[in-house]
Each structure stands twice: as C-alpha cells, then as structure tokens.
Amino acid sequence: MQLLRLDLQFFSGEKTEKATPKKRQDARKKGQVAKSQDANTAIVLLGVFFLLYMTGSYMLKLVLGLYKQSFEEFMIMPLTEANIHMIFIQVTEKAALFLLPVMGVAMIGGIVANYLQVGFLFSTEAIQFKLSKINPINGFKRIFSLRAIVELLKSILKISFVGFIAFMVVWIRMDEILILSKKPVGAALVTLADITIKVGLFSSLALLFLSLLDYLYQKYDFEKSIRMSKQDIKDEYKNIEGDPLIKSKIKQKQREMAMQRMMQEVPKADVVITNPTHFAIAIKYDEKKFDAPFVVAKGVDFIAQKIKFVAKENDVPMIENRPLARALYDQVEIGQTIPEEFFKAIAEILAFVYKTKKKL
C-alpha cells in the first residue's frame, strides 16, 4: 500500500498535462512566449533588401550626388567654421534621406514580425536583473544542455542552407561576374549592386522558410516547458477557487451571520406561523415599508424551533396553521412580501393577533 501511494505521488508529479489558460496567461505576463528570433531577422532583411531593390536607382542617384557635390563644391571651399557647419548639415541631410527609409523599414519589419508571432505584448520581467542570470554554474548548464546542442545544430543548418542559396544565386550570375573587369566602373557597380540585392532577397526568403520551421519547434518546446502535473492543476484550482475546507468554513460563517441577523428580526415580528413542529415563518406588517405583510424569518426543523424559542422569549404570538406555514416556506423568501393568494389568510391571522393584543 505504501509503495502504491508513492507511485501515485510520483506519477501525479509528472508534467504530462497541457497548460491551463491561467498558466499561459502567467507565462505571457513574464514575457515567456513561443517566438522565433530567425523570423524577426528574416522579415527585417527581406523588407530592407526589397526596399533597396525598389528604390535602388534613387539611392544610387543620392549617393552619386553626394560624391559629386563633395568633390566639386566641398573640396574647394575655404576651411572656415561656417563652411564646416554648412557641409555637416548638408551631408547629414543626405545621409538621413538614405538611412531613414532603411531604418524605418527595419523597424516596421521588426514590429510586424513580433506582432505576427505573439501579438501585442509588453513585459519588463525578461529584462529585470536576476543574480541567477550571472551564476556561472547555471551558465555552464545552459552551455552544455540539450537545448544548446539543438541551437548549435539549427545554426549549422541555417548557415549551410542560406549559404547554399546565396552560392546558387552567385553561380547563376557567374558569367556576368567574370566580365566585370571589361565593363565601365559605373556599369560594374550596377551589376554588383543587383547581384548583392538578389543574394539578399533570396537569402532572406530562405531564412524566412527556416524561421517557419523554427517557430514550430519553438512552439513545441514552449508547450513542453509549460506543461503541468496533475498536482499543479489541483493546486492552481485551489488558488483560484480557494481551499475547499476554507470555503466551507467561510460559508458556515456566512450562514451563522445570516442566522444571527434573522433571529434579531424575530422579536420585531407581529406573528409566527407554525407547522407546529417542522416549520416556522415570522410575519410582520409595516405599511411604511411595504404595502403587504412580509417575511422577516423562516426555518425548518432546528431553525424553526429556534425561531419559536426567540418568539416565545419576546412574547411574539404563535399561530398554528400547517398548510399555510408549509406554503409560505416554499414560496416566499426572507424580506419578500406575501403573495396575493395568501392575503385573506394572513389578514385573518393578523386581525386575530391585533384583537388579542388589545384585549390584553
């Protein structure tokens, strides 16, 4: 029996269950999500090289214009503070015109890549300083872990595949490369720029393909890392819903408080209608509060006996009417007025009670 109990504890501790929504939400708040960094790199590179492909002539004209202006105007200017300031401003403006589109596309590509993978997420948990991050023992464990080996194999695969694609693009254009020395400088630069952009585009597409596979692996690895044991799920349920023992005690306390409040209303009642042993319903008529009599307390068995005891202690009249007591207990809640079908019976009882009180 002891061995069986130990086996059950062992298996309940195995992380074989899928993560609950709360576990996923907590992990997301900490910045722990399934994401491929290769996808970010691929989309950014693809966007930048596509921009260069579409605006190549504009970029070339911008750079050549800057070179021309430098040699024709800037080189022959007197070396004065005003001229240096003017040159700096103009060069900065031309550089901004060249770099800002590239940087803008790179930024947009990074945002799009992250949003496609994880949606909108802002978490400072991942960048918080933790001593465990600089622990050399943990560092060695990470270096020589299975995850590190997998990342190494992935890197080798990426380099090999992307390198092969780049080589094939260059190999196809090898005839043009071999005759570059026979072309004018301008034409040779245009050819080299075209080859470079084509290599970048095809390499980015190859990396994007690999990043899709990497994302699937990262998703699998993430799901595996947040798996829960049966005991974890039970503990989480207790944390959300509360410990059953504590909940039962709270409910018991609430019942006791409600009972105490109800018993405090019994002395204010006009009459208590009884079964006589099983049911007791305390009735009060207050024209300032309601247009009809209402129930201030009701109970069955032990509670009914307690209501009758309190009523007796406070000289509240008790009238025995078995069908009426049972019907009121079933149909009327505490604080509610008496239904219309019971008006006649209640009115007769209250009239009898008031008449009896006047005689006394």
- State how far the Cα of 213 lies from the Cα of 36, in Å rounded to an integer: 9
- State how far the Cα of 169 lies from the Cα of 196, in Å rounded to an integer: 9
Residue 7 pLDDT: 45
Percentage of residues in the chain with pLDDT exceeding 70? Answer: 86
Q: Which residue has the tokens 């995850």?
A: 147
Residue 294 pLDDT: 86
The pLDDT mean for the chain works out to: 80
What would the DSSP string read from start to end of 159-217?
Answer: HHHHHHHHHHHHHHTHHHHHTGGGS-HHHHHHHHHHHHHHHHHHHHHHHHHHHHHHHHH
Give the three-class secondary structure for 284: strand
Point out the least confidently predicted range of 45-54, 134-143, 199-208: 134-143
66 contacts 210 by C-beta, under 8 angstroms: no
State the angle between helix axes of 21-29 and 230-241 in degrees (0 to 180), rounded to the nearest 10: 80
| CB-based contacts of 113, cutoff 8 Å, min separation 6 | 39, 40, 42, 43, 44
- State how far the Cα of 94 lies from the Cα of 39, in Å rounded to an integer: 31
Condensed to tens digits (0 to 9), the pLDDT of residues 210-238 reads 889 888 888 888 888 888 887 777 777 77
Condensed to tens digits (0 to 9), the pLDDT of residues 144-193 reads 677 778 788 888 888 899 899 999 989 998 988 888 888 887 788 888 88
Strands 294-300 and 318-320: unpaired
Point out the least confidently predicted range of 126-135, 189-198, 305-314, 330-339: 126-135
Condensed to tens digits (0 to 9), the pLDDT of residues 335-359 reads 888 888 888 888 888 888 887 776 4
Residue 4 pLDDT: 41
- State how far the Cα of 128 lies from the Cα of 106, in Å rounded to an integer: 26
Instruction: Output the 3-class SS for 90-158.
Output: HHHHHHHHHHHHHHHHHHHHHHHHHHHHHCCCCCCHHHCCCHHHHCHHHHHHHHCCHHHHHHHHHHHHH
Does the pLDDT at position 65 exceed 90? no
Does the pLDDT at position 5 exceed 50? no
